[in-house]
Amino acid sequence: MIVQIDYDGTITTENVGLELQRRFAIDAQRFEYLRDQFESGLIDVVSVVQAGWANVKPDPAKLMETALRITVLRKGIWKFLLTGHYLIIVSNGMTFYMQPFIGSLAPIIAGKFFIEENQSYGCLPCDLKLTIARALHPDIYIGNGLTDIEPSRFARKTYAVRNGGLHKRTDAIPFDSFDEIDLTS
């Protein structure tokens, strides 16, 4: 079974990348403007990710310290991630804040795991979530944000996290709530 899952706000309880962009924004008004433009559909995910990280004061030590402090993994997510599915974790976030939490999965589940990212520094010229979903047609897609709507259309079953873009959009495809799944059983 192929499971494509988002990181920020899905594996974690909050969107760590957005929170880092908000806290370390050089221009707070620009951060809010970019989010509004994206949520209104006026700019695409690649543009908002690139512009958002370009608006961050580059202080790697403080960014990492904050990321480690604010990241909370969803209860039961480790057990879920180790269920033997072929996992594809695709994020529009940055590796530096994901790696300490999910990088240790790689040796445990070997060939069943890989991370791809869509970063402002060397950003791919496409929405990677959509590209992978379109190519692989995952059995299950799990996400929370507006960037998960289009990729989820290529999955047989979709789970969405409460308070995310999939829940807010009435034109999104049918989904079940990921919040209501008992990941610990």
Burial-class residue 6 by CB neighbours within 10 Å (0-12, 13-18, 19+).
buried
Q: In Å, how far are 37, 57, 61, 97, 142 from 7, measured between CA atoms? A: 22, 23, 22, 11, 9
pLDDT of residue 117: 43
Q: Which sign does the torsion angle of CA 55, 57, 60, 61 carry?
A: negative
pLDDT of residue 63: 92
Name the phi and psi angles at 86, rounded to 5.
-80, 105
pLDDT of residue 169: 57
Segments of the chain scoring below 50 in pLDDT? 106-125
Q: In Å, how far are 52, 162, 177 from 68, measured between CA atoms? A: 20, 23, 27
Choose among 151, 123, 119: nearest CA to 135.
151
pLDDT of residue 109: 38
Q: Where are the domains of the chain?
A: 2-14+72-177, 16-69
pLDDT of residue 113: 38
pTM: 0.78
- Cα Dmax for the chain: 44
Tokens representing 122 are: 């060397």
- Tens-place pLDDT, residues 38-53: 888 788 777 887 888 8
- Find all residues with CB under 8 Å of 98, minimum gap 6, and list them: 7, 16, 91, 115, 117
| Alpha-helical runs (H) found in 56-147 | 60-70, 77-81, 95-102, 105-109, 128-136
- Calculated CA dihedral for residues 13, 14, 17, 19, nearest 10 degrees: -150
What top-level class would CATH report for the domain 2-14+72-177? alpha beta
Rounded CA separation 47/123 (Å)? 9
